[in-house]
Amino acid sequence: MKLKKILPIILCLLLSACSGSAPEEYSYDFFAMDTYMSLTAYGDNAEKGVKAAAGRIAELTLMLSVTDENSELSAINRGGVAKVSEETAGLIAFALDIADKTDGALDPTVYPVLRAWGFTADQNRVPAPEEISALLKNIGHEHVQVDGNTVALDKGMMLDLGAVAKGYAGDETERILRENGITSALINLGGNIQLVGSKPDGTDWRLGLKDPAGTGNIGVLTVSDCAVVTSGSYERCFTAEDGTVYGHIIDPASGYPADNGLISVTIIADEGRLCDALSTALFVMGEECALEYWRENKNFDVILITDNAEVLITGGAADKFQLDSAYGNLTVKVVEE
Ligand code: AMP
Ligand code: MG
C-alpha cells in the first residue's frame, strides 16, 4: 500500500483545555487502510490498549485490502470462490445485508467499475460509456453467495469492502480499548470518528464538521459514545479535461460517480460499520431517498449538506450541532419525521 495522498480529514477534534489532574494519555498516529489514522486513549492501560488496537487494524488491513494480492478479499476476487475467516465472511454478509436494504445503493461488487475509473490505482480516467455498460453486467450484490466461511462470486465479479472496512476497524478498535479497561478515547480513522465514552473530564467531545468546499469547519458536533462517519464527493476526486469533477463514490445503477445533489453525508450511530455503510449508501441515494431511508429505519442520525447550501439534520442530532457564525450562507433545517 502506497502513501498516495493525504485524505482530507473530514472531522477534526477541537482542542479545548481541561482543568484538574490529567489522566494518563497515549496517542499513536499511523498509516493503514490507505489513510492516516490516529488513536488517543486516556487512563491506565492507555498505551497498551492503543498499541493492541493499532496491531488489530494492521491485521484487518492485510485481510480486507482489495489491492494487496495476499488479502483474503483478493483470494475471493482471484478464484471467484474462497474459504475465508469468519470475520471477513461476516463483514461481507453485513455489506450484502445493507446493499439489500438500500436497494443496491451500497454495493460491494462495484469494484470493476471503480477500477475502470482508476480510483484504486490513482490513475484516473473517464471510461467510455460502452466500457461502463459492459462492466455493469458484472455488478450486483445479489450474485454473491456467503455460505459459512465460503464466499462465491459469479464469473467476472469482484468484491471491495472500501465503504465499510474503516467503520468495522473503528468497532474493533473500540472493543479492544474497552477490553483494556479504557473508558475515554478518540479514534480517528482517516476522518471516520469513533468516540469511547466522553472526554476524560466527563464532558462531551467537540468535533468540527469540515467545510466540504474549504478549509474551515461549518460547525461543531457535541457528542459522546458514538461513531461519526462522513462520505463526500470532495474526497478522492479528480477533474477531467473538460473540467468535470468526478468523485470516488459510484452509483452502482449507472456506473458513474454519484451526483445527486449532496455534497456530504454524515451518519451518527453506535456502530462504526453501520455509519460507514450508510454514509456511502445515502450519498448515492440523494436527499429524498436518503431521508426516506432515515424515516423508515431511524437507527441513526444524519446530517446532509446539499449543493443548494442547506444543512439537513435529523432530530437526534439537531441539538448537538452548532453552525459556525462564519457560515451564515448555509440554512440549517431539522428534518421532519
Ligand atoms: P466511503 O469513503 O466510506 O464513502 O467509501 C467509498 C469507497 O467505497 C470507495 O473508495 C470505493 O472503494 C467504495 N465504493 C464506492 N462506491 C461504492 C458503492 N456504491 N458501494 C460500495 N462501495 C463503494
Ligand atoms: Mg462508507
Atom of ligand 1 lying closest to residue 279 CA = 4
3-state secondary structure 118-161: CCCCCCCCCCCHHHHHHHHCCCCHHHEEEECCEEEECCCCCCCC
Cα of 165 vs centre of ligand 2, distance in Å, is 8
Distance of alpha carbon 2 from the chain centroid: 20
Atom of ligand 1 lying closest to residue 99 CA = 20
Q: What is the pLDDT of residue 1?
A: 36
| pLDDT grade for 234, boundaries at 50, 70 and 90 | confident
Say how far apart CA 178 and CA 50 lie, in whole Å: 10
Residue 277 Cβ inside 6 Å of ligand 1? The answer reads no
Residue listed under C-alpha cell 490516529: 38
- Residues 6 and 191 sit within 8 Å (Cβ to Cβ): no
Q: For the stretch 12-23, what's the b/e string if a residue is b when 16 or more beta carbons lie within 10 angstroms of its beta carbon?
A: bbeeeeeeeeee
Q: What is the pLDDT of residue 150?
A: 98
Look up residue 275 and give its three cell numbers: 455509519
Atom of ligand 1 lying closest to residue 108 CA = 21
Q: Which protein residue has the closest C-alpha to ligand 1 atom 1?
A: 163
Report phi then psi at 8, rounded to 5: -65, 135
Q: What is the pLDDT of residue 20?
A: 54
244, with CB counted inside 10 A (0-12, 13-18, 19+), is exposed
Atom of ligand 1 lying closest to residue 192 CA = 3
The pLDDT tens digits of the residues spanning 62-91 come to 999 999 999 999 999 999 999 999 999 999
Residue 160 Cβ inside 6 Å of ligand 1? The answer reads yes
Cα of 25 vs centre of ligand 1, distance in Å, is 34
CA distance to 73, 205, 274, per residue, from 320 (Å) = 38, 11, 20
Average pLDDT rounded to a whole number, residues 271-291: 98
CA distance to 83, 130, 141, 206, per residue, from 228 (Å) = 32, 38, 26, 12
Helix (H, G, I), strand (E, B) or coil at 337: coil
Residue 257 Cβ inside 6 Å of ligand 1? The answer reads no
Q: What is the pLDDT of residue 213?
A: 82
Cα of 22 vs centre of ligand 2, distance in Å, is 35
Q: What is the pLDDT of residue 254?
A: 97
Residue 250 Cβ inside 6 Å of ligand 1? The answer reads yes
Helix (H, G, I), strand (E, B) or coil at 59: helix
Residue listed under C-alpha cell 465479479: 157
Handedness of CA 119, 139, 32, 247 (dihedral sign): positive
| pLDDT grade for 140, boundaries at 50, 70 and 90 | very high
Mean of per-residue pLDDT scores for the chain: 92
The pLDDT tens digits of the residues spanning 162-173 come to 999 999 999 999
CA distance to 18, 163, 216, 302, per residue, from 261 (Å) = 40, 20, 21, 16
Q: What is the pLDDT of residue 22?
A: 76
Residue 280 Cβ inside 6 Å of ligand 1? The answer reads yes
Residue 81's DSSP bridge partners are: 152
- The three-point CA angle 268-273-276 to 5° equals 60
Residue listed under C-alpha cell 445533489: 261
Q: What percent of the chain has pLDDT over 70?
A: 94
- The three-point CA angle 218-333-326 to 5° equals 25
Q: Which protein residue has the closest C-alpha to ligand 1 atom 11?
A: 162
Residue listed under C-alpha cell 453467495: 145
Q: What percent of the chain has pLDDT over 90?
A: 84
DSSP E strand boundaries for 53-143: 81-83
Mutate to test the pocket of ligand 1, among 249, 264, 289 (most ligand atoms within 8 A of CB): 249
Say how far apart CA 47 and CA 49 lie, in whole Å: 5
Residue 61 Cβ inside 6 Å of ligand 1? The answer reads no
For 222-279, give the DSSP string.
EE-SSEEEEEETTSS-EE-TTS-EE-S-B-TTTSSB--SSEEEEEEEES-HHHHHHHH
In this structure, of 46-50, 75-79, 232-236, 263-267, the range with the lowest mean pLDDT score is 232-236
| pLDDT grade for 121, boundaries at 50, 70 and 90 | confident
118: left (phi over 0), alpha (psi -120 to 50) or beta: left
Cα of 319 vs centre of ligand 1, distance in Å, is 30
Average pLDDT rounded to a whole number, residues 99-103: 98
Cα of 126 vs centre of ligand 1, distance in Å, is 17
> Quick check: 208 pLDDT over 60?
yes
Residue 162 Cβ inside 6 Å of ligand 1? The answer reads yes
Average pLDDT rounded to a whole number, residues 94-118: 97
